[in-house]
Amino acid sequence: MKQLEVVKDSKGNVKFRFSKQKNVPSISLYYYELRIIEQVYIHRYMRSSDLIDLFLAYRKKLGLTCTRNAVSQRLERLCKGGILKLRQNETLNYSGFRFNSYFYTVGFRGLEALLKSGYIDEREVKRFNDSLAKSQLPSVHTMASSTLANNIYIHLFERGVIHDKSNIRIVRGSQHHILGVTADVPEEIRGLIVPDYVVETNNVLIALEVDSGRQGKHVITNKVKRYLQFMETDYRKNKELYVIFCQIDSSVAKYTETGNRSKRALSIKTFFDSYFDWPPGF
User: Residue-wise pLDDT tens for the chain (282 aa)?
Assistant: 457 888 877 777 778 999 998 889 999 999 999 999 999 999 999 999 999 999 999 999 999 888 999 999 999 999 999 999 998 876 655 444 555 678 999 999 999 999 999 999 999 999 999 988 887 788 878 888 999 999 999 999 999 999 888 889 999 999 998 899 888 888 888 888 999 999 998 889 999 999 877 777 788 888 888 988 888 888 777 788 898 888 876 655 554 455 566 777 777 777 776 666 655 554
- pTM of the complete model: 0.87
SS3 content of the chain, % helix, strand, coil (to 5): 45, 20, 40
